[in-house]
Amino acid sequence: MDHSGQALPASTMSDEPGDAPPPPVPTDFPAERFFAAERMAASRAAMMKEMNFRTFALQIDQLEFRTGKGGDGFGWEGQAWYGGDVDRIVLASEGEGTFGARAERIELGAYWRHAIDPWFNLQLGMRQDFRPDPQRTYALVGLEGLAPYWFELQGQLLVSNKGDVHARGKAGYTQRITQSLVVEPEAEVDFAFQDVPALNVEGGFERLELGARLRYERNRSLAPYIGVNWERKLGGTAELARAAGQGVSGVSAVFGVRAMF
């Protein structure tokens, strides 16, 4: 049978893309097909305002009882803040002492914290030291954040109203052992850029504190912990303490709570 008369005509389609202009960018909102445009505009404005949220929080990292050869004592560290993810006003305090005696160290800081990238924050403000005597007021600039491998770091440079300059560095790591048990080692070091006779401090490294705490975190708002804390004066500051008949180091067992509100 002859099928030559049934041959299909040659295709006239081209493989080259067309040059038609792209469709315009939509300027409407799908929800406006069902609700009034004015109502949806108000809803979008409210959503943007809520995303730029401001809130208040109180976080007590350490509130603890300490016991060791030097006697029973106490320590605390915490902060309260108001603001959002980018900008916050922070009040921070830490200190320590021995029961039956004046507190050895009381610090209260107030600073503006600004996020400079997803990982680190800038600190600008001041710190007031009520102990040891004499009191000092410091201008403060610092950097805090999360380093690779989830290390929490903080560094601060402080200039007092008397002109002496100090620095403080902190490092910590949070490791979850089980769903409820968390271990948190940390270190803190102070450095003086010059001698400060009024504070019995000599230039150089002046203090080192190391600690590790095991926390039972069934509820993050209130978590008890136990641990160990070691503190030592360093360099010339330690020599001044020895000359005054004071101890230069001490280790203590700690029992406390961590709270968030």
**pLDDT tens-digit series, residues 143-162:** 999 999 999 999 999 999 99
* Predicted pLDDT of residue 44: 82
In the block, which residue shows the tokens 């160990």? 228
Residue 2 to residue 78: CA distance in whole angstroms:
96
Do the beta carbons of residue 87 and residue 110 sit within 8 Å?
no
Which residues does 166 contact at the CB level (< 8 Å), separation at least 6? 138, 157, 158, 160, 190, 191, 192, 193
Residue 125 CA to its chain's centroid (Å): 15
Is the residue at 6 inside a domain?
A: no
How many structural domains are present in the chain? 1
Q: Is residue 32 part of a domain?
A: no
Identify whether 7 is part of a domain: no
**pLDDT tens for each residue of 218-247:** 988 999 999 999 999 999 999 999 999 888
Domain that holds residue 252: 55-260
Rounded-to-integer distance, Cα 227 and Cα 188, Å: 16
Q: Give Cβ neighbours of residue 140 (< 8 Å, ≥ 6 apart).
A: 109, 111, 123, 124, 125, 126, 127, 156, 157, 158
Q: Does the residue 122 lie in any domain?
A: yes
**Residue 114 included in any domain:** yes
What residues of the chain score a pLDDT lower than 50? none
Q: How far apart are CA 257 and CA 23, in angstroms?
A: 61
Does residue 251 lie within any of the structural domains?
Answer: yes
How far apart are alpha carbons 93 and 261 in whole angstroms?
16
**pLDDT given for residue 114 in this prediction:** 97
**Which residues have C-beta within 8 Å of that of residue 46, sequence separation ≥ 6?**
none
| Residue 178: burial class (beta carbons within 10 Å; 0-12, 13-18, 19+) | exposed
CATH number where 228 lies: 2.40.160.40
Q: What element of type H or E holds 51?
A: helix 37-51
Choose among 231, 251, 214, 259: nearest CA to 63: 259
Tell me what pLDDT residue 19 has.
78
Direct distance between the N- and C-terminal alpha carbons of the chain, in angstroms, rounded to an integer = 91
Burial class (CB in 10 A: 0-12, 13-18, 19+), 165: middle
> Using CA atoms, how far apart are residues 261 and 254, in angstroms rounded to an integer?
23
Task: Report pLDDT digits (tens) over 168-179.
Answer: 999 999 999 999
